[in-house]
Structure 1
């Protein structure tokens, strides 16, 4: 190739100008736009990932919501056994009905201390009653079927004398404990 030939010089000059134009195009236009394109692609991937996460969370949210509703229903059935507040009138009504149907005579019901336990409070009552053994057993079975939890402890049975027509062969004293949920532990319904 002859460099002194004007035709060769034009070709070399054209190739150099082409490389120079390509170099400026790459550095000035393509690189800047390529960085923007890569940034947009990264942003697109991030948005797409977030969208998929949101879709998965929405599906799991629906599952969690239905699970929450079923657990709330189960909680409400258990809550009947462990009321939200101390229910002395209900206790007295249940005791009176149990005593009437079993034939026991309640001599005394004395409220004792209310004290906190883990997530609930306990209330003690001291109870004295008279009747016969079968009536007392019937009464205890009625206590076991109260619509709330009631425990009997410190049971003391003594033989009693018959009084009048009715034979009261047993005098019983015991402590009954009922339970209710602490105010700060009550379940609050979540709004979705």
Structure 2
């Protein structure tokens, strides 16, 4: 081992001894402090006390001032999120409600339009006359067309009309198309077709006897309005 190595070891031992001495001296200073004479305390002890006091003040300030405010902010953020979610839900409901209201208005408009196509009680004879003219223009010959007793339903009154006519297939097809084009609602039910020889024309095309029941409808309110 060289001389330089001995010098380094001696220097490290001296530093360690010095540090140990300073620490012992610092502890001795704490043990000999005079609580009634703060001005006579060593500077190192004063700095240490100030550091502890500062740490204590910061801790108390955090616990008494900052932490409650931070808790309030956290609660406010949670409440804000809840209110935001509630707003989104209500906004979605409102948008759907507006769409439902538009659909309801469209349905009401369509319903009123359909009601306008239902004949009033005073219009039934005129409707029968229109059906008669439509059949004649289509090439049919009516043997019988009569009103049957009304059938009361929950929201409307059903008026059956019994029809018996003679003609060929084309005439009957034209008659059905013309009935569908009437401004009033008329439906056809219970078709009965009977083919027979054509005695009026010399042709192989058979003559068809048609028995069909037409039905038209009128709104129950129309009957009340007519009575009033």
In 2, the alpha carbon distance for the partners of 1:159 and 1:112 equals 31
Is 1:41–2:77 an aligned residue pair? yes
Give the drift of 1:36: 1.0
Give the drift of 1:40: 2.0
In structure 1, the partner of 2:147 is: 110
Give the drift of 1:39: 1.6
Contact residue 193 and residue 208 of structure 2 kept, 8 A:
no
Give the drift of 1:35: 0.8
In structure 1, the partner of 2:106 is: 72
1:41-190 paired onto structure 2 within 5 Å: 41-50=77-86, 64=99, 68=103, 72=106, 76=110, 83=115, 86-87=118-119, 89=124, 91-102=127-138, 104-105=141-142, 107-112=144-149, 114=151, 123-129=159-165, 131-133=166-168, 136-137=171-172, 138-147=174-183, 148-157=185-194, 172-178=210-216
Largest Rg, 1 or 2: 2
Contact residue 124 and residue 178 of structure 1 kept, 8 A:
yes
In 2, the alpha carbon distance for the partners of 1:60 and 1:110 equals 47
| Alignment deviations for residues 110-134 of structure 1 (CA, whole Å, 9 cap, x no partner) | 22453759x98865332234x4437
Q: Which runs of 5+ in 1 are unaligned?
A: 164-168, 184-192
In structure 2, the partner of 1:24 is: 60
Distance 1:170 1:61, change over 3 A: closer
Give the drift of 1:95: 0.8
In 2, the alpha carbon distance for the partners of 1:17 and 1:55 equals 54
Q: Superposition RMSD on alpha carbons, in Å?
A: 4.7
Aligned partner of residue 146 in structure 1, secondary structure: coil
Higher strand share: 1
Higher helix share: 2
Aligned partner of residue 148 in structure 2, secondary structure: strand
In structure 2, the partner of 1:187 is: none
Q: How many residues align?
A: 171
Distance 1:134 1:98, change over 3 A: same
Q: Comparing both chains, which one has the higher relative contact order based on Cα–Cα distances under 8 Å and sequence gaps of 6 or more?
A: 1
Give the drift of 1:72: 2.7
What is the TM-score when the length of structure 2 is the normalising length? 0.50
Distance 1:120 1:13, change over 3 A: farther
Contact residue 150 and residue 179 of structure 1 kept, 8 A:
no
